[in-house]
Structures are given as C-alpha cells and as structure tokens.
Structure 1
C-alpha cells in the first residue's frame, strides 16, 4: 500500500479563540477535539446536556457531537484538533496507532459524560503544564518540535484516558445493600473488561454483581432485549471494525487483543455477521479512503 507523507499540521492542529456571547464550531466539523478553557466562564451545550465551565476546565468533543458555548465571561478557548486524516490509513504519522488506540479508549468508554474530564488535582496541573509546552513548541517550531509535540500529545491522551477510567467501581450489593445493580453498571463493566474472557463469563459477571447466573441472564435480557453473550459479541465486532478501519493492526493481533481463539475464529464470526471477512472489510475501507 502506498503511504503518503503529511505534515503534523495536516493531522494535529492547535487553534486559540477569544470570544464573547455565543460560540459554535463551523459546520461540518470532522475533528476529534480537546478543548482547554484558558479563561472565562459560561455554559457548554453538548448533545442533550448543559454543563457549566470555568477557567482550566478541559472538554472532549467527538466528530458526531453537536455542541456550542454560551459565554458569560469573555472566554479564551484552546483547541487541540485531530483531523480526519488521522483516521485515514493513507497517512504515516509514527504515533498514529498509539493516538488512535487512546482515542478509541476515550470515546468508547461508557463512563464518559459531558463536562470537565479531569478529576484529579495532580492530573489537572500536569495536563495544563503539557498544554503550555505543546503551545510553545507549536509556535516556535524549533528542532525536533514535531517529535516533542507527538510525545506530549500521547501523554495528554493517556492522562485523559486515566481520568475517564479511574475510580470506576460499580456499586455492589455487598457494600450498598439497598441499591440494586443497574443495567448501566453491567454494561459499563462489560465494556471496560470486554477483552478479558474470564471476566465475561456469565458466572463471573454474576459473582461480581452478587447475582445468580440465571438472575443476571434474565435481568440483562429483560432490560436490553438480547442475551449477555450476544451483547458482548456485538460490542467486540464494533471494536473490530474500528480497529480494522483506523489502525494498522493485523487480524491476528486484533483477535489476540479481544480474546478470540485465533485469527480464523475471529474471521468466521466476523463474516457470519458482516458477509465479509475482516480483510475484505479493511480493503473496502481502504477503497473509500482512496476516494477521499
């Protein structure tokens, strides 16, 4: 496959805006964005949610999100934007696979809600320090600045992923006996541990949530309309498609990551539900990239 070279600016952009009143991104918007609030206060409207913001808050916005800001006090926004080229197999940024893996963990994590995403005081201080250095490197463009920015962006994504996944412990009846397990807690746990086959057994899930095997199976079926096994499989297929389209991972590597017996096992299951093998699916995605 012929790879094209792109500059860092083709893939990763930094944009700083000072605004009052109403602020909305231009349409259409194809960026995955990290938004730093350098100064100001107001409200962030994202999809069906409204959250307040203040100085030193950090927000995430995925390409499909609909959002805008209603500004109360003049606000300086700093955008770290990952363009659609990051998701194209035609580009050859060395850290592309790592960035995509981290972004996948972030945007597919079920515990992510709109609002400031940094929970820990130490991590807030750290991510803002990195934000300042990335901006300086981006402006000065001294020797090795692309390498430095790439490394620091990777660290930024890791800090965000850590804050989104940290402290997630579903409530259990053993600790809060009056609060029953909810379907959201079970789904969150499945998505967080989907690659660990031993934790995805019905018996293991039942033990974790202090339920019987039949009890958790019936409860899940009643709330979602499908079995636990089918839900886990469909979620794995969703992740497989994402990784085939957006990473250079082989089918064998994806099979290992997601707990399939081997490549042929994954291929057989994937073809059953998509009428294409994983390799055929990837080739179809590559053809779409070449038409971009």
Structure 2
C-alpha cells in the first residue's frame, strides 16, 4: 500500500482530472476534499461513496482511499497536519472545536457531507476564498486556516444528528461522537444527561462503555479532555484562564489539577 508523506503544515491543491492519477493510498496528514464539478465514486476504507458537484469529504491519516471518475472532475484538496492544528496560531478556539470533533468522528470520514442549500453556497464561497489565497500559501497561511475553521463549523452543523433510537442507543460510534462533541460542556457528560440522550439509564451506560472499550467512561472522558488541554498548552497560544473557560472548568487551578 502506497503511503504519501507531507512535511509542510498546509498545502492547497486544485486540479481537473478525467482519470484518477493515484493508486489506492494512505497518508500522514488530513485532507478536506471538495469536488467542485464532476461525478464518480470515492472509495474510503473499502466503502464506495458516489460524489457529485459540491460534495466535501474529510480523510484522516492512515485511511485508504482513491477515486473512480465518471465525468471530468475538478478537485480542491486542503491538506494539513496535526502539527498545524495544535501549534498554529489559529485565532479561533471555537472553530478548532468543530474541526477536532469532525476529525474524531469516524462517521464523517465514511461519507460525503450533505449541506443544505444555504450552507452549500457558503461553502462554495469559502473554497473560492481559499483558492484566491493559495498562490502565496506561506504569507496567507493564517487567513487560509481561518477559512478552514469556518468551513469545519458549516460541516459540523450539517452532520446527521446523533439522535438516540432503539437501534442506535447502544451504538458505540454514536456514543464516541457524543463524547467528542460535548467534551467542552461538562454538564452534558454527566451520566444522567447522557443516559437520557441515549434512551437508557445511568446504571447501564457506564458498564456498557467499560464492557466495549476496556476503560471506564469517566477515565475516557478525563483522558480525552487531558489530551486536548495538553495540545492547547503546548501550542503556547492559550493561557490557563482561556483553557479553563473553554472547557467549562472552574478556574486555572482546575486545569492544573487535571494535568497533574
């Protein structure tokens, strides 16, 4: 299996192709892929997903993918690394939340985003702004990144709702997505609130999570929150006060206690 390696933090590429030029491959970075025009099929981890004009895909590291093109397709690729996510001066921790959630939710990697008409128009405009800045990516890197974060916010609100049903109330993927989405809102991570969302009881949801993951729900939430806080601290772009406010913590001492 071919694996592409990217060492630059952010790369923008746009091109038209009648035949897909790459073999099935993986890579060490993330890709937001926009099909400006054309039709075909995108294969992600063996899943065949038809695409049309205006579809957007998110691919993570080590995910195998390739395209089969039916009609000539204009592609826009926004390729970025973990280093950029956690060390760039993004200027928007709110936008970063949306991107982190999309990245953590594997459901988003196995389908094309279905945007409503208004958001599709906005996404088209954002992509056009990014393309207008690509000729000097180095100088415009922060401006491009802000557009990426705005696009992430649009994508998140167009995800299928993770509503509890009798079938999905016990679905681990939905549970992980819920945890990642609400990691910044401690109230929504209480067992009583989560149990209500997933149509079950507080006494059931914790043991169910432990049985399927080998780790307690409390420890998973703590470890995930800790990893996000560590990334904020290592970037040097956030004060302890800002981190506390972002994660709904009492004060800076609470942040220090979590990290100790």
Structure 1 segments of 4+ aligned residues over 6 angstroms from their partners? 25-28, 144-148
In structure 2, stretches of 5+ residues that fail to align are 1-7
1:250 corresponding residue in structure 2: 239
Residue 168 of structure 1 pairs with residue 130 of structure 2: no
Change (3 A) 1:152 1:73: same
Name which of 186, 190, 196 aligns with 2:179. Answer: 190
From the superposition, tell whether residues 118 and 227 of structure 1 become closer, same or farther in structure 2 (CA, over 3 Å): same
Q: Is the 8 A contact 1:190 1:200 kept in 2?
A: yes
Q: 1:182: Cα distance to partner?
A: 0.9
Alpha-carbon distance in 1 for matches of 2:145, 2:192:
43
Deviation string, structure 1 residues 73-120 (Cα, Å, up to 9, x no partner): 33221223335663474x6x5647666444323212465242212331
Work out the number of aligned pairs and report it: 250
Structure 2 SS opposite 1:119: coil
In the TM superposition, what is the alpha-carbon distance from 1:26 to its structure 2 partner?
Answer: 11
| Aligned twin of 1:230 | 219
Among residues 117, 120, 128, which one is paired with 1:124 in the alignment? 120
CA root-mean-square deviation? 3.5
Asked if structure 2 preserves the Cα contact closer than 8 Å seen for 1:31 and 1:83, the reply is yes
TM-score, normalised by the number of residues in structure 1: 0.68
- Matched with 2:169 is 181
Provide closer, same or farther for how the CA distance between residues 80 and 262 of structure 1 changes in structure 2, counting only shifts above 3 A: same
Question: Is the radius of gyration larger for structure 1 or structure 2?
Answer: 1
The match for 1:20 is 18
Determine helix, strand or coil for the equivalent of 2:218.
helix
Change (3 A) 1:84 1:117: same
Q: Take 1:210 and 1:99, find their aligned partners in 2: how far apart are those partners?
A: 30
Alignment gaps of 5+ in structure 1: 1-9, 173-177, 272-292
> CA offsets, 1:35-90, max 9 Å, x none?
1212332222223433222222111223443322222333221223335663474x
C-alpha distance in structure 2 between counterparts of 1:210 and 1:269, whole Å: 30
Q: Counterpart in 2 of 1:51?
A: 49
Q: Which residue number in structure 2 is paired with residue 202 of structure 1?
A: 191
TM-score by length of 2: 0.75
